Structure 1
Amino acid sequence: MKKGLAIFIVLILILGGGYFGYTKYAEGKRIEAMEEALKGDDIYTGITIDGIDVGGLSKEEAKDKILTAKADELEGKNININVEDKNYTFELKNLDHKMDIDKAISEAYEYAREGELEERYSKLEALKENPLNVVIDKEIDYSHVDDFVAKIASEIDTEAVNAEFSVNNGKITSTESKDGKKLDREKLKKDILDAINNSTETITAIVETIEPEKKHSDLERINGLIGSFTTDISTSSNERKTNIRVSSNSVSKKLLLPGESFNFNNAIGDITAANGYKNAHVLKGGEYENGLGGGMCQTSTTLYNALVRSGVKILERHPHSRAANYVPKGQDCAVWKGSKNLRFQNSYDFPIYIDSSVTNNKVTFYVYGDKTKKDYDISFKSEIVEVIKSETIEKEDPSLKPGERVVDVKGYDGYRVVTNKIVTKDGKVISNKQFTKNYYPKRDTIVRVSTETAGEENPSGDASNSDDAVMLP
């Protein structure tokens, strides 16, 4: 028994030693195999850079292969852009690609080269089932896209051309209008960038049609005179006539589209000698005095009367502080920078054209429009409903000689005036309504008298309000 047990133990020891020795040998072989697989200076198999297989290549070989592949990738690849009836080609090779290829190669090369042997080998084995793709850091300069789009726009974009309207010796003419075009630059740029990234080959650009503000078809509706008015300037000084001519030219040859408004004071601009204005009599606060631009109120009054006879909507109008002598009372229109203005609006659905002439000692304004729509006549009749008599107020002045009288202020009567608007068609009155109410305040005569002859004062209690004007519908 004892001898058999001893033999058994010896056999176990022999077998155990053999197994241990074999295991140690096998482990050594495995380590040798892992070391063999991981050695070398080439990029490991199973690694790609931007989809380009670089496994088994040195760094230099990998770089050459990538550069060649990238050049081939862009060569001959174009994006076709259709712009209406034109075609443009954008070549991808023109893009400035800034690629950090060296960084990508270094990342590919360093894969599974750090760490414990087992860890490195495990990563290497994993490549067989899950290959590694290293993405190159890229920065593409898209400025060429901007330049390309700008070039297309320079060939496509055109300004809309407005129709022009003119009247010469009563003959009405209008030029043709033309649509403009505008390339949608932002949309085209976005589409090109999307096409670059998605390998799209064809793009259709969007071109917007720009309609002119003044179309020939609209101006064709101006077919005749719908209102005019004339005032006499024969008694005016040469300076006053000059001011009327300059101001009339400033507000003439104006085309107003439907709904468009006009501002007289803005249109005449600065009243300066440099703009051609002269010193002439102006009515200010009921008194005549010399001032730059004297006579402009006759221009505004003549224009106002042409406008109301054409049926144009008046937005702002003021009477004078003293009734003008070149139109019936209640039909004047005062202007003064900063306080009084003439503003109106084309309330028709067709354009109107305003013109003037200053000839033969007369100033005339003309309003042209669609006579088929404005096929009636407008006239005005003013009635003085009250005369406010001027009074003479005497004031004692002990400095005067006995019986001496000095007129300080020469007075005039005041008036309350109602103006009716009369509409006739085919010779028949179809409307007769009150249009405006106007108040022209009186001015009393002020006389200084000597103490011996002075009479009793009789002050007027009638307040002055030069802007008492009401425009009725």
Structure 2
Amino acid sequence: MILSWIFGGMLLAQQVNAPISLLITKDGQPVSHINQLDFTNPYIDLPIVNMKKYNQFLDQLDKQFSIAPENAFLDQHGSIHSEKVGYQINRQAFTEQVYTYFFNHSPTRLEIPISTIYPKVDSELLESIGRMRIGRYVTSFNPHNKNRSTNIQLAAEAINNYVIFPGETFSFNRVVGKRTVTRGYQRATVIVRGEYSEDVGGGICQVSSTLFNAVDNAGLQIVERFSHTRKVPYIPPGRDATVSWYGPDFQFKNKYNQPVLIRARTLGNLLIIKLYSSEGMNYIPKKIPNPPY
């Protein structure tokens, strides 16, 4: 039987007697197998590779065998924990071999090609940018309000050890992610259209507001900031930064020529956010109002 195949925009014809299975291996051990019919429709005269099915197959392999890299980080005592490299399936190399199999029935065995993925932040970088404090702000909260305290702690952990490279824009919503119950966030008081209400993640605006003041103190460029529709008790009037997953975001840009490191933590009833960079960096600090007591 003669079949024509379209793959990657190319049309090829070949003699097909019977589908031959391609064995997929990892470290020499079988993990899966495929054949042409897995990704094509045999009942039409011009079978076309179904790229959606093929990419789903690659996604499954990725979930099974890829390992995300881990950035180096500083613990609460200031000790540096080393980075970890990650590994990812080389999709281009894999596809090239599958392409050869589809049209030549060769090879019959494919060892998954793996690429090394290096973390964005390594120990050497942390060592160089964790020395000079360029911005700081501290606010207080009621630790007896367990739900709100939990939300503050989770959001602080999400931005802690985050590095903003020169020219990069930091988005609070993107870095912290969606606030959901499955991620540990609790229902607490929020302000919606000037009225008090309750929602999952209530209280994280204190983290974004404290971060805004630390960022402003460091003289970084504010890209996007919105205030609440009514006064909040933990920050001076007009110095807050409200955030919502489907609404306002707080964003700032690193206009300096060195990376900036965020250090955020809770200590008792205090939320402490500090910004660091390399010694000798030419930055322009800004005087900002003290938090209310």
Q: Shorter chain as normaliser: what TM range?
A: 0.5 to 0.7
Hey, what does 1:327 align to over in structure 2? 235
1:249 and 2:158 aligned? no
Q: 1:378 aligns with which of 272, 285, 291?
A: 285
Q: Distance in 2 between matches of 1:366 and 1:316?
A: 20
RMSD value, Cα:
4.4
Q: 2:144 aligns with which of 220, 234, 238?
A: 238
Q: Distance in 1 between matches of 2:66 and 2:206?
A: 40
Hey, what does 2:56 align to over in structure 1? none
Residue 329 of structure 1 and its aligned partner are, at CA, apart by 3.2
Residue 186 of structure 1 and its aligned partner are, at CA, apart by 3.9
Hey, what does 1:169 align to over in structure 2? 76
Kept in 1, the 8 Å contact 2:211–2:273? The answer is yes
1:212 and 2:118 aligned? yes
Pairs within 5 Å for 1:84-103: none
Q: Which of the two has greater helix per residue?
A: 1
- How many equivalent pairs are there? 229
Q: Distance in 2 between matches of 1:256 and 1:194?
A: 47
Deviations 1:50-73 (A, max 9, x none): xxxxxxxxxxxxxxxxxxxxxxxx
SS of equivalent to 2:129: coil
One-letter amino acid matched to 2:25: K
Identity of aligned residues (%): 19
Pairs within 5 Å for 1:74-473: 139=16, 143-144=20-21, 146-147=22-23, 150-151=24-25, 159=66, 162-178=69-85, 180=87, 182=89, 184-188=93-97, 209-214=115-120, 216=122, 218-224=125-131, 225-233=133-141, 236=142, 238-239=144-145, 242-254=147-159, 255-256=162-163, 258=165, 259=168, 261-264=170-173, 267=176, 269-270=178-179, 275-280=184-189, 282-283=190-191, 289=196, 291-292=198-199, 294-336=202-244, 338-346=246-254, 351-368=259-276, 370-372=277-279, 374=281, 376=283, 378-381=285-288
Q: Distance in 2 between matches of 1:180 and 1:162?
A: 7
Distance verdict in 2 for CA 1:332–1:260, change over 3 Å: closer
Distance verdict in 2 for CA 1:274–1:152, change over 3 Å: closer
Kept in 2, the 8 Å contact 1:252–1:356? The answer is yes
Kept in 2, the 8 Å contact 1:306–1:367? The answer is yes
Residue 374 of structure 1 and its aligned partner are, at CA, apart by 3.7
Residue 243 of structure 1 and its aligned partner are, at CA, apart by 0.9
Residue 331 of structure 1 and its aligned partner are, at CA, apart by 2.1
Residue 251 of structure 1 and its aligned partner are, at CA, apart by 4.3
SS of equivalent to 1:365: strand
| Structure with bigger RCO (C-alpha 8 Å, 6+ apart) | 2
Deviations 1:177-220 (A, max 9, x none): 436475623434666899999xxxxxxx9967443242525555
SS of equivalent to 1:252: helix
Query: Normalising by the residue count of structure 1, what TM-score does the alignment of the two structures yield?
Result: 0.38
Hey, what does 2:45 align to over in structure 1? none
Residue 164 of structure 1 and its aligned partner are, at CA, apart by 2.6
Kept in 2, the 8 Å contact 1:179–1:211? The answer is yes
> Which structure 1 residue ranges, 5 or more long, are not aligned?
1-97, 99-137, 198-204, 383-473
Kept in 2, the 8 Å contact 1:246–1:276? The answer is yes
> Which structure 2 residue ranges, 5 or more long, are not aligned?
2-14, 30-61
Distance verdict in 2 for CA 1:276–1:142, change over 3 Å: closer
One-letter amino acid matched to 2:120: K
Query: Normalising by the residue count of structure 2, what TM-score does the alignment of the two structures yield?
Result: 0.57
SS of equivalent to 1:306: helix
SS of equivalent to 2:265: strand
Kept in 2, the 8 Å contact 1:250–1:267? The answer is yes
Q: Distance in 2 between matches of 1:298 and 1:161?
A: 31
